[in-house]
Structure 1
Amino acid sequence: MKKYVILCAILLTAAVFVFPASAAIIADFSYSVDSSNPMTIHFTDKSTGNPNTWFWSFGESGAFSSDRNPTYTFNDEKEFRVALAASDGTSSNENTAMKWITITRSGVVEDNGGSSSSGGSSSSGSSGISLPEFSIGGINIPNPLDLIDEYIKLIRVMIIPANYQK
């Protein structure tokens, strides 16, 4: 029995070094205004957990990027929801950060003072802003931020086919 316990301990120790657990990804980003054009914004990935796949949504129709640190020029002066989904290439280690920013010709105003993030190891994901599910006429209405998170994941698969995992 003692031999089996020692053997199991050796195997478990070896497994920790050979197959280390990946760190959970926490998506985050910052941005800066281009000095020559205030409508052009430079986004910088600040995610932790070693992501290797990025998907940005800039809040305008068709405005997406898979670059780690993209630059985007907005067309309109208004409020936009900018979201970053960072992943290690698997659907089990993904996280999303979102910031509402107002673009003006004189600069940018961040409306929510920070980011809210969601995702992680669960597929349903929970957002940094907690909104309860509610019911109207017996129909359950889910948290709208969870729906947005799932929509971003769907768009990632549609835009970048390599993100699709069987």
Structure 2
Amino acid sequence: MKKYVILCAILLTTAVFVIPASAAITAHFEFSVDSSNPMTIHFTDKSTGNPGNWFWTFNDGGAISNERNPTHTFSGEGDFRVALVASDANYGNENTAMKFIKVTRSGVTEDNSGSSSSSGSSSGGSSGGFSMPALSFGGITIPNPLDLIDEYIKLIRVMIIPANYKI
């Protein structure tokens, strides 16, 4: 029995001192317009905390990307919410950054009044510029709809985009 206790203590000590904790991820990105086509935007990941996975949504009909620095051509003019979810290699630590942009044939402008960044781990944090509480009715609690959307997006990332799935 003593041998097992000593072995467990050694393994626990090794795990604490050898395996580093993952750094907090802060998602952030910048963008620039392609000089040959103002509807084409180059997005550059500026996230900190050493993310290993990226998930971009462009809000123009379902286009998504899991590249670190994607280029996206918008199908038409309009106002779009571009979101980046940066996460560590195991999807255990993630953060979301969003920017609201106006795309026109003459260029792109950012609506800073709508941009936001929210933190969250795989277990929570609604993405968006505001937080909405869970709803309770007579002892029955309905989760925050924004949290449900976040969980749905995570499910899509893992099940639909095989390149994002790591074993």
TM-score of the aligned structures, taking structure 1 as reference length:
0.77
Fraction of identical pairs, as percent: 70
Residue 34, structure 1, aligned to residue 34, structure 2:
yes
CA-CA distance at 1:62 after TM superposition: 3.1
Q: Show the counterpart of 1:81.
A: 81
Asked if 2 retains the 8 angstrom alpha-carbon contact of 1:132 and 1:142, the reply is no
Q: Over aligned residues, Cα RMSD in angstroms?
A: 2.9
**Greater strand proportion:** 2
Matches within 5 A, 1:41-80: 41-80=41-80
Q: Show the counterpart of 1:3.
A: none
Matches within 5 A, 1:127-142: 127=127, 129-133=129-133, 135=135, 142=143
| Structure 2 runs not aligned, ≥5 long | 1-8
Asked if 1 retains the 8 angstrom alpha-carbon contact of 2:118 and 2:125, the reply is no
Secondary structure of 2:155's match? Answer: helix
CA-CA distance at 1:126 after TM superposition: 3.9
Distance 2:75 2:46 in 1: 25
Q: Show the counterpart of 2:21.
A: 21
Asked if 1 retains the 8 angstrom alpha-carbon contact of 2:116 and 2:129, the reply is no
Distance 2:135 2:145 in 1: 13
Q: Show the counterpart of 2:5.
A: none
Distance 2:119 2:67 in 1: 20
Deviations 1:19-66 (A, max 9, x none): 111101111111111111111000000111111111111112231111
CA-CA distance at 1:123 after TM superposition: 0.8
Deviations 1:124-147 (A, max 9, x none): 224463333265977866545434
Asked if 2 retains the 8 angstrom alpha-carbon contact of 1:53 and 1:87, the reply is yes
Distance 2:65 2:35 in 1: 22
Q: Residue type of the partner of 1:84?
A: L
Structure 1 window deviating more from structure 2 (141-150 vs 88-97): it is 141-150
TM-score of the aligned structures, taking structure 2 as reference length:
0.77
Distance 2:107 2:82 in 1: 16
Q: Show the counterpart of 1:5.
A: none
Q: What number of residue pairs does the alignment pair up?
A: 157
Deviations 1:85-140 (A, max 9, x none): 111122321222111111111111212354322322x5122446333326597786
- Going from structure 1 to structure 2, the CA distance change for 1:40 and 1:134 (only over 3 Å counts) comes to same
Distance 1:109 1:67 in 2: 23
Asked if 2 retains the 8 angstrom alpha-carbon contact of 1:29 and 1:47, the reply is yes
Q: Residue type of the partner of 1:104?
A: T
Asked if 1 retains the 8 angstrom alpha-carbon contact of 2:98 and 2:128, the reply is no
Asked if 2 retains the 8 angstrom alpha-carbon contact of 1:118 and 1:128, the reply is no
